A and B are shown apart, each in its own frame.
Chain A
Amino acid sequence: MIRIENIVKTFGAKRVVDGVTFNVERGEVLGFLGPNGAGKSTTMRMITGFIPPSAGRVSVGGHDVVDSPLEAKRLIGYLPEAAPAYPDMTVHGFLAFAADMRGLAGDAKKRAIGRVVELCFLDSVVRQNIDTLSKGYKHRTCLAQALIHDPEVLVLDEPTDGLDPNQKHEVRNLIRELGRRKAVVFSTHILEEVDAACSRAIIIDRGRIVANGTPQELRGMSRLAGAVTVAGQGVNGDALAPLGRVEQVDGAWRVYPQGARQAGELVQAVIELAARAGWRLEALRTEEGQLDEVFRRITLPDTVRA
């Protein structure tokens, strides 16, 4: 649904987005990760046609965003960063305006408003002015606006920002649910959201894509991935050393795999070793790898990485 080919955005001499290419298909939820200022919002603004790319092409549902913007925009529901909304309008008035702009009228409009009010839990504030709302409600009002025409494509810039933990949970579930039928792109810098909602994630840093894969694959990029942590009486690092690089962590020993071993091979070796040496094991686990470690490793400047 969304095709992005090698887009570039320069502001003055600065290349904010520098050759980003990816596709998002229907039924996919793409998490867009990156440190602040990495170019996430700029990329999303280019997808939704708010700013034109300096180079490259973006098309949504086969419509080029620059050449046929209206056709492309009709397919998109967009939640901009900071969730702007007209402060002098009521929630209902604002959603009615969004429905009008999307060409909904009469019964269809009424149903659409009812549906998004329910979906975004806005029942209690429907008649309230937007400038009197708390941040969470304001955020969800803007999200409701993005969903009003039941769009094929959803672009959500930090949809869980400013929400409390319960609301975050609800919104993540909502995104996952919507992702079954639509193409969804959402940006975040909360890594747990990638596991909670995404079918695929892209990490972007200084305008370039530095990682692209399923949450599983990204975790696999962790140095930790496949390492075996073992704890218990008699366990000692020297005995483990032939299996791989060994490190002591919180009273336990961790062995990192060496070279390309089959999954499970290392843990099997550790079990055999423990049996031979007569260790009394209290804990044994294969590490999955941590996203935040991957994230830190590939987005930190070289000097800090050390």
Chain B
Amino acid sequence: MISAWKSVRTIARRELASYFASPVAYVFLVIYLLLTGFFTFTVGAFFERGEASLISFFVWHPWLYLVLVPAVGMRLWSEERRAGTLELLLTMPVTAWQAILGKFLASWAFLAIALALTFPVVITVNLLGSPDNGIIVAGYLGSLLLAGAYLAISCMTSAMTRNQVVAFILAVVICLFLILCGFNPVTDLLTRWASPAFVDTVAAFSVITHFDGFQKGVIDTRDLFYFLSVIGFALFATGVILRNYRAG
């Protein structure tokens, strides 16, 4: 058990280091911070709202992550397949699960670093007013889980192909579906011809529906369960895809 966790850590450490080995990681961080800033202050009208909250910060995350998270996750397995290092990694004394978990945790940690670097916005809102910091913490937790869900899906699509671009596009499409099935303009459209029960069922699969609560400061176990089960399912699917790939 201890050695299993050690293997996960070793793989995760290597993966995280490989992000920072190239300038791409820093470019990503800069773009991420610029975009969050732009959406929060300009599009989200942070100042004009006149409220001490980070609603205008978090509300954009499902859309922002739609492009940024698959960009982080797309290389996870496709690059291993392309370079042939997959064969090296999986013939070392580790199980596929340890490798999947290690690589997932490394890129999730990278996204957590990016998210943590948005701390100035928390300072700003605290200087300007007195927000409920509990709500902000819940928002950050929700945002991290949301990123994790998208990332797990990117991990899955990355295992499907040796081409990073294909992995990226597939991940964006799947994540977009998870947004749109609970996005108000879309659900309003659906209610015109479908029963409300059906619309609610579809919307229950959406990240928007489950991310909402966190933004309001509510940590609902159902929302937690939703994000964790999306992550669990996508990582499980990654394992199945890799096993099929190896079995030919």
Which A residues contact B (CB, under 8 angstroms)? 9-11, 45, 48-52, 69-70, 73-74, 76, 78, 80-82, 84-89, 93, 97-98, 100-103, 142, 145
B117 at the interface (CB under 8 A from A): no
Q: Which of B128-173 contact A (CB under 8 A)?
A: none
Contact stretch, chosen from B88-96, B119-127, B220-228:
B88-96
In the complex, chain B residues whose CB is within 8 Å of the CB of A98:
92
In the complex, chain B residues whose CB is within 8 Å of the CB of A93:
17
Is B85 a contact of A88 with CB atoms below 8 Å?
no
> A45, A76, A86, A100: which contacts B10 (Cβ < 8 A)?
A100
B195 at the interface (CB under 8 A from A): no
Q: Which of A9, A10, A80 has the most CB of B within 10 A?
A: A80
Is B18 a contact of A88 with CB atoms below 8 Å?
yes
In the complex, chain A residues whose CB is within 8 Å of the CB of B18:
86, 88-89
Is B88 a contact of A52 with CB atoms below 8 Å?
no
Q: Which 4 A-B pairs have the closest CB atoms?
A: A84-B84, A88-B21, A73-B93, A100-B10
> A9, A69, A82, A88: which contacts B84 (Cβ < 8 A)?
A82
Q: B92's closest neighbor in chain A, by CB?
A: A101
In the complex, chain A residues whose CB is within 8 Å of the CB of B92:
73, 98, 101-102
B50 at the interface (CB under 8 A from A): no
B247 at the interface (CB under 8 A from A): yes
B244 to chain A, nearest CB (A): 11
Is B83 a contact of A101 with CB atoms below 8 Å?
no
In the complex, chain A residues whose CB is within 8 Å of the CB of B85:
84-86
A186 to chain B, nearest CB (A): 16
B248 at the interface (CB under 8 A from A): yes
B246 at the interface (CB under 8 A from A): yes
B107 at the interface (CB under 8 A from A): no
> B17, B83, B87, B95: which contacts A45 (Cβ < 8 A)?
B87
In the complex, chain B residues whose CB is within 8 Å of the CB of A86:
14, 18, 83, 85
Excluding A81-B84, A101-B11, 9 further A-B contacts by CB distance (< 8 Å) are: A45-B87, A49-B90, A80-B84, A84-B84, A86-B83, A89-B17, A89-B18, A101-B10, A102-B92
Is B87 a contact of A80 with CB atoms below 8 Å?
yes
> A10, A49, A100, A103: which contacts B91 (Cβ < 8 A)?
A49
Number of contact residues on B: which range applies?
20 to 34
A68 to chain B, nearest CB (A): 11
Complex CA–CA separation, A85 to B22 (angstroms): 16
Complex CA–CA separation, A70 to B90 (angstroms): 10
Is A88 a contact of B22 with CB atoms below 8 Å?
yes
A48 to chain B, nearest CB (A): 4
B26 to chain A, nearest CB (A): 14
Is B88 a contact of A84 with CB atoms below 8 Å?
yes
Is A101 a contact of B7 with CB atoms below 8 Å?
yes
Is B83 a contact of A50 with CB atoms below 8 Å?
no
In the complex, chain A residues whose CB is within 8 Å of the CB of B246:
50-52
> Per-residue 0/1 for B56-99: is the Cβ within 8 Å of any A Cβ (1 yes, 0 no)?
00000000000000000000000000011101101111110000
Complex CA–CA separation, A89 to B3 (angstroms): 24
Complex CA–CA separation, A9 to B248 (angstroms): 9
A190 to chain B, nearest CB (A): 22
Q: B82's closest neighbor in chain A, by CB?
A: A84
Complex CA–CA separation, A50 to B80 (angstroms): 14
Complex CA–CA separation, A49 to B87 (angstroms): 9
In the complex, chain B residues whose CB is within 8 Å of the CB of A97:
10, 14
In the complex, chain B residues whose CB is within 8 Å of the CB of A74:
93
Is A102 a contact of B93 with CB atoms below 8 Å?
yes
Complex CA–CA separation, A11 to B18 (angstroms): 34
A104 to chain B, nearest CB (A): 11
Complex CA–CA separation, A11 to B203 (angstroms): 41
Is A70 a contact of B95 with CB atoms below 8 Å?
yes
Q: A105's closest neighbor in chain B, by CB?
A: B6
> Per-residue 0/1 for B4-23: is the Cβ within 8 Å of any A Cβ (1 yes, 0 no)?
00110011001001100110
Is A11 a contact of B248 with CB atoms below 8 Å?
yes
A151 to chain B, nearest CB (A): 11
Q: Which of B1-55 contact A (CB under 8 A)?
A: 3, 6-7, 10-11, 14, 17-18, 21-22
Is B91 a contact of A89 with CB atoms below 8 Å?
no
A21 to chain B, nearest CB (A): 21
Is A76 a contact of B248 with CB atoms below 8 Å?
no
Complex CA–CA separation, A64 to B217 (angstroms): 52
Is B88 a contact of A145 with CB atoms below 8 Å?
yes
> B6, B17, B22, B90: which contacts A50 (Cβ < 8 A)?
B90
> A70, A80, A145: which contacts B93 (Cβ < 8 A)?
A70
B64 to chain A, nearest CB (A): 27
A122 to chain B, nearest CB (A): 17
Q: A45's closest neighbor in chain B, by CB?
A: B87
Is A48 a contact of B91 with CB atoms below 8 Å?
yes
Is A50 a contact of B248 with CB atoms below 8 Å?
no
In the complex, chain A residues whose CB is within 8 Å of the CB of B6:
103
Q: A84's closest neighbor in chain B, by CB?
A: B84
Q: B83's closest neighbor in chain A, by CB?
A: A84
